[in-house]
């Protein structure tokens, strides 16, 4: 059943050829069989999943629900899930049982989508490899020696290995798109504010954005339709009519102007990745798209600006984890200062502590203007580059990451090298624009994604371009042999 597309699953459920109970049990059995080696789930919820599957079957029998009713989903462990352990990949939240649902979880639950479990991730979404998790590194289903990307590496791995048909992720600096590229799946980061952040544990609030991770663009459109929409509980949620992501999929892309920035193909880009991306661009041209050269001159300013701004926001957001209200508390504190110091020192991992320290420094008196304020100005320059480029084209394409998936441990001791893995994805987060990764081929046996970037509120257009590309290629249908 895991080889069926979500569309085929949905049709079989509606036609009573399969039940949600049988479909959900099939995925739970696969998780039992394969997740021991992948470590893609932090928590599996079989009782909850089967109860929700029975309810979904009842909804279908009564003619209620929607296209995704009865289709199981895995949620990144950054989304609060009622009465389920929600850890954010950290020892700090190892004992935290969420007392409410995040908006994203609430929406999928209301539609009758059984929750298979919570997927592994870099601690507090800080990382590009899913190695910083308190629960150990997740492995890439295409090559167990490789990382799946991060921070949504668990969600990417469960889709690639067929341990869930649909998954949610979050993207702060590329955390949906880079793992989607590394694992050969489709993932989209919507416009900032399109998906509610209510109940999504904060890393950097002006960057964080939830989104779908699936096999195909069509499935991403279906899941994004569930996830997106205004939510008054999130002050940054966009109050505007929701796009029709699904209807736009079939639109012809003849005459579409596709921008290719020269800066994306400079030194440092893996030859295999460059060849794969250029081949994908040629496919778009065959479909009738017009290729135009554009420029993003401040691309190289994005990573340094991001690694001032995001840690600054993180140092503020993570101050709430103090050992007093919830989360990890050290044993036998001698006084309040000892409680704070040891709870945070013992509860947070190395990468999280590094970013808290960098952020606190950037916000400190005397350095705020020199670092934080300057980084905000650079952020505006990066955004303006995109705005100017979109005056010449409809979408921008390029690589998602400079290389295919690297080996586990390869960059663990070199934070700067790890940070540069997000060279192409971070600028989009600084601008708050939508972007996605689409499977485009392989380099040295490891998947490579094509990066599609659009102007604000162009998710339907991006999904349309991706879907049309997937009509003439089959990279999104490929599965690692071990998991077929």
Residue 185 inside a domain? The answer is yes
Residues of the chain whose pLDDT is less than 70? Answer: none
Buried b or exposed e, range 180-192, using 16+ CB within 10 angstroms: bbbbbbbbbbbbb
Residue 275 inside a domain? The answer is no
Residue 196 inside a domain? The answer is yes
CA distances from 348 to 40, 84, 133, 330, 481 (A): 21, 21, 10, 12, 37
Domain count for the chain:
1
- pLDDT at site 141: 98
Residue 438 inside a domain? The answer is no
Residue 146 inside a domain? The answer is yes
- pLDDT at site 195: 98
Which residues touch 418 (CB under 8 Å, ≥6 apart)?
Answer: 127, 128, 129, 411, 412
What burial class does residue 206 get, using C-beta atoms within 10 Å of its C-beta: 0-12 exposed, 13-18 middle, 19+ buried?
Answer: middle
Among the listed residues 76, 91, 139, 299, the single catalytic one is 76
Among the listed residues 90, 129, 175, 181, the single catalytic one is 175
Q: Which of 479, 467, 484 is nearest to 185 (CA)?
A: 479
Q: Where are the beta strands (DSSP E) in 131-238?
A: 167-170, 186-189, 210-214
In degrees, rounded to 5, the angle at the alpha carbon of residue 113 between the alpha carbons of residues 111 and 119 is 135
Helix (H) or strand (E) holding 261: strand 257-261
Strands 290-294 and 210-214: unpaired
User: CA–CA separation, 315 vs 169, rounded Å?
Assistant: 22
- pLDDT at site 379: 98
Return the CATH number at 32.
3.90.1300.10
Place of tokens 């880009």: 269
Place of tokens 């420029």: 295
Q: Has 10 been annotated as catalytic?
A: no
Q: What's the token pair of residue 478?
A: 């490929």
Residue 370 inside a domain? The answer is no
Residue 434 inside a domain? The answer is no
Residue 275 C-beta-side C-alpha neighbours within 13 Å: 9
User: CA–CA separation, 351 vs 134, rounded Å?
Assistant: 11
Residue 457 inside a domain? The answer is no
Please give the model's pTM, rounded to 2 decimal places. Answer: 0.97
CA distances from 67 to 217, 223, 416 (A): 15, 10, 43
- Asked if 319 and 393 count as a contact pair (C-beta separation under 8 A), the reply is no
- pLDDT at site 116: 98
User: CA–CA separation, 316 vs 19, rounded Å?
Assistant: 46
DSSP 415-473: HHHHHGGGTTTHHHHHHT--EEEEEEEEETTEEEEEEEE-STT-HHHHHHHHHHHHHH-
Q: Has 151 been annotated as catalytic?
A: yes
Q: Which domain holds residue 93?
A: 6-255
Question: What 3-state class would DSSP assign to 96?
Answer: coil
Q: Has 76 been annotated as catalytic?
A: yes
User: CA–CA separation, 318 vs 339, rounded Å?
Assistant: 16
Q: What's the token pair of residue 417?
A: 């090298």
- pLDDT at site 413: 87
Among the listed residues 10, 130, 151, 343, the single catalytic one is 151
């Amino acid at each position: 059943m895991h080889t069926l597309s979500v569309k085929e699953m949905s049709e079989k459920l509606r036609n009573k050829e399969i039940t949600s109970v049988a479909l959900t049990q099939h995925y739970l059995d696969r998780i039992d069989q394969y997740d021991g080696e992948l470590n893609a789930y932090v928590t599996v919820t079989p009782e909850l999943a089967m109860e929700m599957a029975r309810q979904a079957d009842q909804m279908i029998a009564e003619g209620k629900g929607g296209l995704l009713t009865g289709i199981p989903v895995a949620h990144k462990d950054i989304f609060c899930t009622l009465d389920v352990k929600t850890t954010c990949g950290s020892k700090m939240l190892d004992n935290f049982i969420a007392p409410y649902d995040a908006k994203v979880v609430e929406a999928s639950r209301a539609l009758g989508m059984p929750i298979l479990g919570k997927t592994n991730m870099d601690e507090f979404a800080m990382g590009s490899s899913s190695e910083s998790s308190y629960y150990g590194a997740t492995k890439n289903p295409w090559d167990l020696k490789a990382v799946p990307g991060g921070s949504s590496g668990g969600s990417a791995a469960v889709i690639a290995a067929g341990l869930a048909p649909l998954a949610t992720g979050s993207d702060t600096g590329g955390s949906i798109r880079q793992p989607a590229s590394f694992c050969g799946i489709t993932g989209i980061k919507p416009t900032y504010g399109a998906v509610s952040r209510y109940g999504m544990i904060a890393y950097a609030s002006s960057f964080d954005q939830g989104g779908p991770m699936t096999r195909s663009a069509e499935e991403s459109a279906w899941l994004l339709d569930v996830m997106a929409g205004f939510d008054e509980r999130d002050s940054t949620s966009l109050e505007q009519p929701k796009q029709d992501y699904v209807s736009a999929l079939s639109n012809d892309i003849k005459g579409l102007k596709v921008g290719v920035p020269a800066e994306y193909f400079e030194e440092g880009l893996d030859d295999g990745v460059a060849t794969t991306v250029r081949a994908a661009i040629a496919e778009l041209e065959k479909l009738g798209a017009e290729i135009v050269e554009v420029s993003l001159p401040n691309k190289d300013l994005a990573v340094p600006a991001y690694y001032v701004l995001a840690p600054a926001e993180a140092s503020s957001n993570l101050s709430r984890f103090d050992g007093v209200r919830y989360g990890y508390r050290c044993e036998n504190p001698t006084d309040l200062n000892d409680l704070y110091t040891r709870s945070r020192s013992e509860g947070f991992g190395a990468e999280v502590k590094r970013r808290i320290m960098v952020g606190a420094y950037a916000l400190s008196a005397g350095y705020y203007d020199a670092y934080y304020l300057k980084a905000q100005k650079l952020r505006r320059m990066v955004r303006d580059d995109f705005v100017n480029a979109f005056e010449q084209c409809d979408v921008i394409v390029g690589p998602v990451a400079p290389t295919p998936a690297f080996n586990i441990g390869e960059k663990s001791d070199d934070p700067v090298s790890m940070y540069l893995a997000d060279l192409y994805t971070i600028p989009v987060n600084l601008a708050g624009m939508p972007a996605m990764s689409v499977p485009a081929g392989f380099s040295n046996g490891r998947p490579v994604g094509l990066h599609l970037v659009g102007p604000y509120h162009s998710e339907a257009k991006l999904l349309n371009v991706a879907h049309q590309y997937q009509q003439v290629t089959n990279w999104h249908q490929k599965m690692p042999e071990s998991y077929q």
